[in-house]
């Protein structure tokens, strides 16, 4: 039962973690939507700057976590300096991060036609001269946000959570069917825990995992007395009276013989000892 409570505790913990990362994913989704709006504004401004009010800015694509791409329906030309201004203004309006890397990529050969890096407040900000118009052609514009802490992907986290949950579900299913099979096999018979054994006094059986050990009627009666009086000395006279009184003649060494048989059947669990208390009787000891 304690193990089951432990499993339930772990499942609750995993559920709380999942909720936490779900919130993080919601933030990422909101951030992604803001970026897409900002970049569509940038694409529209680039087209209007060349007097194009009819062709379309294609849907902004999130290539990877924190990497976005603008594509256009038709070929275009623009001044890179205008691109820098449009992106900066649009990002400021929507309060997006100010540290990012921009690359203008030719569709034909995937070569970078123009790129720059913006790191506000840092000396490594690099914006090459942008006074020269890019020749008319097909371009994709890629934006990569730098050091974006909250935009980390949680895909792997969810996979780990899923695997952990599957492991615990499998354990629970195993325990359920194991217990069900035991209930089916032994019905509602009561048992006593005896070290690593289960003792079923009504059936005179010892069960240890998949091992079933049959006991004789007298062995079962003796063991039942010992289980009731664990770690207590039981007198010889009491044992012989309870087990043999109604069964005819008592042979002097019968008790010792049955004790020896019980010891042999319990010997696979070193924590169980039936010790002889000289001149008095026997004691069942469970060493924890």
Whether the model clears a pTM of 0.75, i.e. scores above it, the answer is no
pLDDT in tens, 196-222: 899 998 899 999 887 899 999 999 999
pLDDT score at 182? 47
pLDDT confidence bin for 64, thresholds 50/70/90: confident
pLDDT score at 185? 47
Residue 197: other Cβ atoms inside 10 A: 22
CATH number for 265: 1.10.10.10
Q: Where is 70: in which H helix or E strand? A: strand 67-70
Domain that holds residue 266: 218-286
Given the structure tokens 């007298």, which residue do they identify?
Answer: 218
> How many domains would you assign to the chain?
2
pLDDT confidence bin for 13, thresholds 50/70/90: low
pLDDT score at 86? 94
Co-location of 121 and 224 in the same domain: no
Q: How far apart are CA 44 and CA 35, in angstroms?
A: 14
Cα–Cα distances in Å, from 11 out to 6, 15, 57, 163, 224?
9, 6, 46, 12, 39
pLDDT confidence bin for 100, thresholds 50/70/90: very high
Terminal Cα distance for the chain, rounded: 18
CATH number for 71: 3.30.980
Please say whether the dihedral angle defined by the alpha carbons of residues 266, 272, 277 and 282, taken in this order, is positive or negative. Answer: negative
**Average pLDDT of the segment spanning 235-240:** 89
Domain boundary among 107, 129, 145: 145
* Residue 246 included in any domain: yes
pLDDT score at 255? 87
């Amino acid at each position: 039962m304690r193990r089951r409570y432990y499993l339930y505790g772990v499942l609750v913990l995993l559920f709380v973690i999942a909720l936490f990362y779900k919130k993080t994913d919601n933030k990422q989704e909101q951030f992604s939507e803001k970026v897409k709006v900002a970049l569509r504004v940038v694409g529209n401004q680039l087209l209007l700057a060349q007097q194009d009010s009819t062709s379309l800015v294609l849907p902004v694509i999130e290539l990877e976590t924190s990497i976005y791409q603008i594509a256009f329906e038709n070929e275009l030309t623009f001044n890179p300096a205008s691109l820098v201004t449009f992106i900066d203004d649009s990002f400021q309006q929507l309060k997006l991060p100010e540290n990012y890397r921009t690359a203008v990529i030719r569709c034909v050969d995937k070569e970078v036609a123009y790129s720059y890096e913006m790191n506000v407040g840092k000396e490594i900000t690099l914006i090459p001269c942008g006074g020269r118009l890019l020749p008319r052609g097909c371009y994709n514009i890629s934006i990569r946000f730098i050091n974006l802490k909250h935009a980390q992907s949680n895909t792997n986290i969810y996979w780990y959570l899923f695997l952990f949950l599957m492991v615990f579900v499998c354990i629970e299913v195993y325990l359920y069917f194991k217990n069900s099979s035991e209930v089916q096999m032994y019905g509602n018979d009561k048992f006593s825990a005896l070290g690593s054994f289960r003792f079923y006094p009504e059936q005179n059986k010892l069960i240890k995992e998949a091992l079933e050990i049959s006991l004789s009627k007298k062995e079962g009666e003796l063991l039942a007395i010992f289980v009731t009086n664990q770690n207590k000395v039981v007198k010889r006279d009491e044992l012989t009276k309870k087990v043999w009184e109604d069964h005819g003649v008592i042979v002097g060494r019968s008790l010792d013989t049955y004790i020896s048989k019980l010891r042999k059947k319990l010997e696979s669990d070193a924590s169980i000892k039936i010790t002889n208390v000289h001149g008095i009787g026997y004691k069942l000891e469970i060493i924890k």
